[in-house]
Amino acid sequence: MPKKAPRTKQKTHRATYKRFWITGTGKLLRRKQLANHLRRNKSARAKRTYHQKLPVAPADVPRVRALLPYA
């Protein structure tokens, strides 16, 4: 019986890999938007809120998971 050719591995989308975090329980986290543009004019309180990570919206999770096949 002939050997099967090995399947090619899926590639991780590197831009997505750099923008999202995966928690220990498998949830996806993202950065807040608007963090860098015109930062001097924003209050310290507003700037501190940009340090937080937010969960990815449930509607977007399948799209991000498709780009991170091994995450």
3-state SS of 3-47 is CCCCCCCCCCCHHHHHHEEECCCCCEEEECCCCCCCHHHCCHHHH
Contacts of 31 (CB under 8 A, 6+ apart): 19, 50, 53, 54
pLDDT single digits (tens) 3-57 = 888 888 899 999 999 999 999 999 999 999 999 999 999 999 999 999 999 999 9
Domains and CATH numbers, the chain: 14-67 (4.10.410.60)
- Provide the token pair at 48: 């501190």
Specify which residues 53 forms β-bridges with.
31
In the prediction, which pLDDT does 5 show? Answer: 83
In the prediction, which pLDDT does 71 show? Answer: 83
pTM equals 0.79
